[in-house]
Structure formats: C-alpha cells, structure tokens
Structure 1
C-alpha cells in the first residue's frame, strides 16, 4: 500500500488529478453549507427552528435522494428550494461525484497498483542472468532451455500491460524503455551473462548502443535481418551478430539427399567433430547398425540417431531407414574415410534434377545461395513477382498450383525444401507434395517447435526449427567448451571424473545403459582419446565428453551430481 500511494502521489499528473478532486469536493462542501443556511432561513420564515446539525442532516438526505420525509417544508418557497436541492444533488452527488472520483482517483490508483505490481528492477544480488529485449516464441523456447540449467532470464518490456500479462504467466519481467540506459542499470547489465537482442535491426542498434553506455564488456547477441545491418550492429557494440534466417537456410540445404552424401559437420569439441549423415539412398539404408560395421570400417562412432526429429541412443539392432539421420563422432580423417565409404560426391548438376525450394523469402534465398555455392541446381517457387524476376531459376506463381509445380520440376526433383514462415502453409504444402510425389525427400522449416511433429505426420522427412537454431546458438555462447548444443534435444557436454567414476573401465560404468548418454571422448591431461575403446580405464581428473538428449544429460547429472 505504501508503494502504491507513493506512486499515486509521486507523479506530476497524479498530483494534478488529486488537486482537481479536492476542488470538486470543496465545491460540494460549499453547497452543503449554503443549503444548510438557506434551510434555516426558510424554516424561520415558516415559524420553525432547527439546529445546525439538523440542517446538515436535511441537506444530505435531500441531495442524496434518500429523502426520509421526517422534515419537510410547508410553504411553496420551501418546496421549490427542496426541488433545487434535490436536482443539484442528482447532478453533483449521483452523476459528477462518481465519475470524478473514478477518473481522478480510482483509475489512477489502479494504474499505480499495476505499476507497483510490475517490477522496475531486478534484485541487487542477481548475477549471471540473461536479458531478453524481445518476447516471442523463440524467447519462450530459450527460457525453457535456460531454466533446465538454472540460468535466470529477465524480459524487459516497455508496455506496462504487456509486462503485467507476462508477469501473470510466471515470467520474470522488468518494465522499462528499451533505449534508456537507466533501464539496463536497473537490470544489472554489468552482472549479466548475456543480453539477447532480437528486435528489428534499427531498434536493435539503438538498444545495443544504450547497453554499451552502461557496460562495455557484457556479451550481446543480435540478429541481423539484412546483410547491411551486420556492420552497423557491430559498430554499435554488439559482441555477436548472426543472420539466423541465413543460418537456417544453410542448415536446410545441407540436408538435401541424393546430391552430396558427405557427412555434414555440425559441431566441434577440440579435435572431436560431430557430424550428421543421411541414410536415405545410401548403402546404409535398410541395414541395422550392427550390419553396417561403420566403426570397424571407418573409425567413426555412431553416437545418436535422428528418426523424424526424435533423438535416440543407438543400439546394435537400431534400424537405419530412409528418414534416419545418423550422428557421427570422430576425427577429420575418420569422417573423410566415412565419406569415401559412402561413395562419390554426387554434386554434379548434370546427373540430378534441380532441387525445388518453395518460398523465396530470406530463408528460401539463403537456401538457393547455399545450393548454388555447392554447384547444385535448384528451382525456387515464389509468388512475389519482384523476387521471382531476379533469376531464371525462380518460378513465378503459387506453390499450391499444380501447373507451377510442374514447371518447377516436381516430377523429377530429388528433394523439396519448404521455407515459408507460415507453419500452416508449410503443413499444407507438405501434404500436397507428399501426395504428388510419395518417393521425394521433403525438408521443411518450422517456425514453432510445437508444429515439428505435425509436419512429420504430414509427410516431411526432416524438419528444422528456427527457434531451436537460435536457442542452440545462444546456449553454445553461454557455455563455450563446456556444453555444445547441436540442436534442440541434442547436447555434447564435458564432465570431470570423480570418485564415483574413477578407476573403472567404461564398459563397467554402463553410462549409456543407465543414463542414455554416450561417451564420445576421454581427455587424459592434454591427450584427447576420441571414440575410446570400452576397456579404457578413467582416472580421477580425467574428463569425459558425452553426447545425449536433454533428458539423458539430466539423468547423468542426477546420478553423478559431483561430476558437474
């Protein structure tokens, strides 16, 4: 209450409202006094006399329209005076007073109450937190991930009502202007682990500049919608500037099958490389992991399997189907041997029909540029004539039109990449293309993680999420060389061997069976043993590099809490 009253009486506008309300109440008091005096004069005129208290009593009951009737005038002048008092009471007490009270006191009091409920600063002892200047589905996904690692997130919102809505949903929100350095002082920016700025390019530039007025060392991550903004954001002081739509386009193009069958490196941990390789249309398709003998033939270790965006720990009898993507761990030389075993680089455009890209927005154009860099022919279907006229490989028209798809080569294309930002449209196009081409590979973008499974059910072989890409990038920057998030649900992390693990061979620890994590490397002093043999003995002070899903990592940390 004290905070609310201080906010209520502390602002200049509220002080003016209180003065206006006080003036109105003073006018009402003057009316009461005047009517009470006239009441006595008229009663004396009629030959009756009452006390001053009775005069105020009669004035109040008449103006409030209660009118008990115990005191009445007998003369016409008295009755006319009663009507005047009654009418003025209706106007001033029953009409003007409630509206005046609500406008000048009650509404400002509610606003002050809301302001008191919405935090203006973070606690003085908060540190290591992540500040977000924009709230969307990407922020929701990131906050959920950070909560698993006990990293506090604070969202700064300039609009009070939006802040209150998020506050009621359980998010840690602070109200403040995004371009005000004082806002970031109240957010303890100097003690924060990171500021994530995903606003539009112009707004992000102003935010970064405001942050740098307060702290010149805090790590900032910014998205650039257009390439020209990268340099400007860096000049403003951003530590890391990414073009996430371009990154998503490159990731989508890397998944194209039947063109280049090489393993795609998706992460590096010292000399250890983590790569993904599609199984579709390779000699691996249709075999079990035991039948493939990959480790014996190439030295790489299959440490995970993606099956329709579900990560699974591999077993000897794991079946490798057309929608399977294997996760490999090994050195550069081992991955090269894997590429040789798969076959030649089929990247020649003379041997393959063009890859179809549905959607010519920023992601679609990034896919096209990435395919062109790999000398892979493509056709982009785009209904906006301005974009479609830029290149002969762009087909103008709707992706829902069969004639347009036929001109783009849907009957021969080995892969279709769907890149629009509308998940509903992506689901629609996935169902449509799957019906037209049951044998084609369909890769789709998902803006929201909740639509990933729906896209798989619709017929997509692979789905990549924009929010997962952003989350993985942020997590890798927060924990460099300690944790590497490869994609949503797949992490590589490093732990130190403690007494519960020491002096035992890996086979006896049964880490994979008990936690679901796979040991991909053991670091002994300065030596990194990649894909260690099951009989290797780990000593105290050694480091294990493990890979697994978020749930598997949680089980490991619960079983070996001192090792984290």
Structure 2
C-alpha cells in the first residue's frame, strides 16, 4: 500500500500512463455493462423455462460462468439457454482470463515495478554539494572526462533522463541523477547555482536548450557545449554558453598537424602571455639522427625542446634524447625565436606530399581545410556522395577496394588519414593499408580510447582519440586560464613554487626526472623568465610554468604538494 501514492504519481506525471489508465477504465465499464446485460438476459431466459430467480442469483450465475467456475447449481434446460451460457462463458474467458490479466500487468504491476526502480534512482543531490560538474550524457567524451575528474578530485554527476540508464550507471558506481534535461527543476535538484560547470555534448538542439535552461537558473556557472557546425555557435552564444567546442574541427586540425608534409616550420599551438608553444615535424630536416644537445636548436634559435611525440605518445626530453624522423618536437620560446627557428629549420622541399583522407564526414572535411591551408595536396574517399558534393578532390567509392585506392593515388601518397567514427572499421583499414605499403604513414582517429592500442598494433603510426581530446579540452576549461591545452592530454600549467623547492636549482630539483614535467618559465611578481638554465634557483613565493601530460602533472602535484595551483 505504501507504493500506491507513487503509482498514482506516475499516472499523474506520465502522459502515456494517463492514456493507459483511461483505456483500463473503459475496459472495466464495458465489463460492468456486459455483466448487467447478461444478468437481465438470464432472468428473461429462466422465466421462459419456468424458473424464477432473484436478481442477486442472476448476478451470481453470470459471474460464476464468466469466471469459468461453473458450480452447476443453476443450469438452463433449453438449447437457447445453453447457447446463451456458451456466449457468457466465451466472453468471460476473453475478458477475465485474457484482457484483464494483461491489463493489470501492463497498467498496474508494471507501473509498480517502475515505481520501485524509480525509487532506487537518485533524483537530486545533497543540499551542501557545490563546486561540482554536471554532465548531460554518458558518452565516450563524458567517460573520459569522468576519469580526469576522479583523478583530480572534482565532484561530478551525470543527468540521465532514462531510468534504465540511470540504474545501470548507479550499479557501475557513476554518480547519477534521474531527471529530464528540459525541466528546470532537474537542474535545481542538481544545485546548478553552486555547480562549477555544466557540460553538454548532445546534438545541437539539445545543447542549446540545456544551455538556455541552465543559464536561466544561474548566471555564474560555466557552461561548455559542443557544436557540430559553426552556424550553431550563434544560437549557443545567445542561449548563454561560456565555451563552445567543435570537436570535429579540433580533431581535423590536430590530424593535419601530424602529417609528414613538405613544411618543417614551427607552428604555434598555444600561448601563455609572451610565451609561445610550437610543434614541428623534423622528418625532412637535418635533425633526425641527432640528440637534443647536438641538434643546435637552442644555440641557433633560443627555443627549448621540452618534449616530443612518438607514435602519438608524449615524452619529455633531455639533452641525450635522440631525434628520429617520426619525432614531432614541442618547442617553447618567444615570437621572435619562433621566427628565427622557421628561418633556420623551416625549409620547404620541392618533393610533393599527398594525403588520402578516408571519410568525408565533419572530421574529414575539417581535415581537408587544414591541409589546404598548409599547402598539402589531398584526396577524400567517401561512400556517400551527399557528404562531399561541394568538395573538388573526392572519389566516391569503398575505401577497402583496391581500384578505388589506385584511383586516389595510394601508390604515391605520403600519408593516409582514417577519419571514420567506426573503430572496428578503422582497425580493418589500418591492417589493409599497412599490408599494401609498409612505408606509408597511417594516421587514424578512434572514438573509444580503448581502441588506440589496438590500432597501433594494427600498424597505425599515430592514433588520436576523439573522446580523450574532447575530455582534455573540457578539463582545461574547467581548470581556468592558468592552463593551456596543447593536445593529446598535454598542457602548459602554472603552479606556485613548492616550499620544498624554494631556493633549489632546477638541476637539483629533479622535476623532469621525477615527474616528467618540464620547467619552461619562472615568474617572480610580474617578471617572467623564459627557458631558465639548469643552475637557475627556484624563487620562493614565485610561480613555475611547466609543460607535461596530465599524468606527469599528477606526479608533480603528488611529489611536491604545492600550496596552490592555478
């Protein structure tokens, strides 16, 4: 009986359940009408046979026959009476043994179970919860983001509108709240006024509505929303979004930077005040085969090699680190030093560099635009003509057919970039292309992070995770202006000099060897010193500007426990 109010509440709140309740009411009225009609006909037929019974007896006979109990104490002796009994019996079987049980299960028992399950799913957070992150779905990006939030101790909740999903997430240990993202009350129950951030990565219409709803309730909460096209940005900005992320554009630009092309220049990918962070491929320069100490980059340009990417993985460097053709260097310096580097090392060869893009979706089209800006020739292979109808360099066909690949120029291409969102398909294509050409640079996108290692084993030179990239970008916005994302989970971040390192030289601090972070600048008051030497002492009360992966940053915070972090 305790659950009856909950069941009635479900009927009241759910439109479909209210419709079902009305259908049940009509069915019961029909049954009541039949019972009355059969009771009347019972009296008429009994009188024809010379039998006289009370009205209660007529009701009793009708119910016993319809329910198939059939005690046999009252019977008809004529054929028409027996035929009437058969009609009443069949009607009872249909209504009482088929329709009513089904209706009871559908309209009463199922809502009861639903009410019990709904009671298990939390519908709000505690009143004292604050500084938390609210996510509106539990997709690949959200799952990667949750791992980061857990590592750094940020409270978070997923708002799910689906009861089954909410219960499953609860079983998995994911903090979840059941609610409708179109209902402002759902966000009130999530303490959106006290939240640190709202993250929504659904479709454009949903993201705009969620942004508008959350912004109406709080003008201070940071709202991060994804957008599939540039045209959606205006709607999101009017709705009150704080940061817009176009993951497809970001993925396309990052994939383009990883191409071994005819441009060995340093491209700026982040800046923190006057400090610029750039990356460059060195495959077509004189640097491969040398070490960081012997390459002469610092002596000739003033820029410092702070790290490198090898097969998609970031590694810090020291003076003895060897440089290979696959190395993509991460450099730190000023604007003038970047210009000097490009004059010294940024040579352009006459050798052609062609890229084949597999997939003409949003990522593939964004990639083609970035390659065009870099002056690299490309061809897109796409199965669906409508996706690439406005693109000149395209081939319509199946990217696993040899004739299509020959037409696209696979024999002479320097790189092939696989951009589809189907990870198993990307793995198949990677194996296929590696078998065709062992010297081909294969770059692949993956949607689920767990497929990255599989794609590497299949033969990909570089794999970029869509989910990890999106999560890292959102996490950077969460942490504020003191962090600059460089891609692939690598950031520039600022932190106060730990008391245990105050007055210690950079060499003796062993920051790089112990944590994997590289110190690229020191700040004392308003003075910033770029690329400090190994004998530079760390100032007490000053700030460190470091570059490293998220794992390296966690190692630093764990090893030195700075008093504050920005």
TM-score grouping bracket, smaller chain normalisation: 0.7 to 0.9
Tell me the residue number matched to 1:455.
455
Equivalence for 1:445: 445
Picking from 141, 144, 150, the partner of 2:144 is 141
Query: Is the contact made by 2:260 and 2:281 (CA closer than 8 Å) also made in structure 1?
Result: yes
Cα distance in structure 2, aligned partners of 1:345 and 1:322: 16
The 5-angstrom pairing of residues 122-521 of structure 1 reads 122-346=125-349, 351-521=351-521
Aligned to 1:449, what secondary structure does the other structure show?
coil
Contact 1:368 1:378 in 2 (8 A): yes
Would the aligned equivalents of 2:10 and 2:111 in 1 still touch at CA under 8 Å?
no
Distance in 2, matches of 1:435 and 1:254, equals: 25
> How far apart are the structure 2 equivalents of 1:77 and 1:7?
44
Report the CA distance shift for 1:114/1:476 in structure 2 as closer, same or farther (over 3 A).
Answer: same
Q: Distance in 2 between matches of 1:243 and 1:439?
A: 33
1:334-353 Cα offsets, whole Å, 9 max, x none, are 2222222324245xxx7414
**Paired residue for 2:59?**
none
Provide the C-alpha distance between the structure 2 equivalents of 1:343 and 1:108, rounded to a whole number of angstroms: 69
Q: Does the C-alpha gap of structure 1 residues 390 and 527 become closer, same or farther in structure 2, counting only changes over 3 Å?
A: same
How far apart are the structure 1 equivalents of 2:134 and 2:368? 34
User: What is the CA-CA distance between 1:192 and the residue it aligns to?
Assistant: 1.3
Show the counterpart of 1:532. Answer: 532
Aligned to 1:45: none
2:472–2:489 contact (8 Å) kept in structure 1:
no
What SS does structure 2 have at the residue aligned with 1:548? strand
| In 2: Cα distance, 1:244 partner to 1:185 partner | 29
Whole-angstrom distance in 2 between the partners of 1:475 and 1:171: 18
Q: Say which SS state the counterpart of residue 403 (structure 2) adopts.
A: helix
Q: Any conservation in 1 of the 2:380–2:394 contact (CA below 8 Å)?
A: yes
Question: CA separation in 2, counterparts of 1:452 and 1:120?
Answer: 36
Decide whether the 8 Å contact of 1:557 with 1:563 is kept in 2. Answer: no
SS of alignment partner, residue 557 of structure 1 = helix
2:416 touches 2:442 (CA, 8 Å); kept in 1?
A: yes
Cα offset for 1:139? 0.8
Q: Provide, for residues 4-44 of structure 1, a one-character-per-residue CA deviation record: whole Å limited to 9, x for no partner.
A: 67534645559998x99xx9xxx9xxxxxxxxxxxxxxxxx
Q: Secondary structure at the match of 1:275?
A: strand
Whole-angstrom CA distance in 2 between matches of 1:413 and 1:424? 24
Q: Which residue of 1 aligns with 2:555?
A: 555
Provide TM-score, normalisation by structure 1: 0.81
Maintained 8 Å contact 2:495/2:562: no
CA contact (8 A) 1:249 1:370 kept: yes
- Are the equivalent residues in 1 in contact too, given 2:261–2:376 (CA < 8 A)? no
Aligned to 2:491, the other structure's residue is in SS state strand
Answer whether contact 1:388 1:395 (CA < 8 A) is retained.
no
SS at 2:307 equivalent = strand
Mapping of 1:3-42 within 5 angstroms? 7-8=6-7, 10-12=9-11
Kept after mapping to 2: 8 A contact 1:381/1:399: yes
Distance 1:226 1:503 in 2: 50
Decide whether the 8 Å contact of 2:263 with 2:346 is kept in 1. Answer: no
1:543 alignment partner in structure 2 = 543
Q: For residue 209 of structure 2, give the secondary structure of its aligned residue in structure 1.
A: helix
Aligned to 2:499, the other structure's residue is in SS state coil
Task: Tell me the CA shift for residue 522 of structure 1.
Answer: 0.6
Deviation at 1:400, TM superposition (A): 1.2
Say which SS state the counterpart of residue 443 (structure 1) adopts. Answer: strand
CA deviation map 1:488-525 (0-9, x unaligned): 44232211124211122222222222222221111111
Is the 1:379–1:395 contact (alpha carbons within 8 Å) kept by the matching residues of 2?
yes
Q: Give the paired residue count.
A: 512
- Indicate the SS of the match to 1:119: coil
| Distance change >3 Å, CA 169–CA 526, structure 1 → 2 | same
**Residue 458 to residue 339, structure 1, CA distance change in 2 (3 Å):** farther
Asked whether the equivalents of residues 353 and 376 of structure 2 are also in contact (C-alpha less than 8 Å), the reply is: no
5+ residue gaps, structure 1, are 28-62, 66-72, 79-86
Q: What TM-score, normalized by structure 2, do the two folds share?
A: 0.81
1:519/1:547 contact within 8 Å kept: yes
Shift of 1:194: 1.4
Distance in 1 between residues matched to 2:438 and 2:257, nearest whole Å: 22
Q: Taking structure 1 as reference, are residues 5 and 342 closer, same or farther at Cα in structure 2, changes over 3 Å only? A: farther
What's the CA shift string for 1:209-242, capped at 9, x where partnerless?
2223222332212222123222122222222223
Say if 1:472 and 1:486, in contact at 8 Å, map to a contact too: no
The 1:200–1:389 alpha-carbon spacing in structure 2 relative to 1, beyond 3 Å, is closer
Partner of 1:70: none
Q: CA deviation at 1:474?
A: 0.9
SS in 2 for 1:213: helix
Q: Distance in 2 between matches of 1:8 and 1:387?
A: 48
Could you tell me how far apart the structure 2 residues matched to 1:505 and 1:136 are? 45
Checking the alignment, whether the CA contact within 8 Å between 2:308 and 2:328 is kept in structure 1 is yes
1:244-292: per-residue Cα shift (whole Å, max 9, x none)? 2112111111222132111222222222222222232322222232332
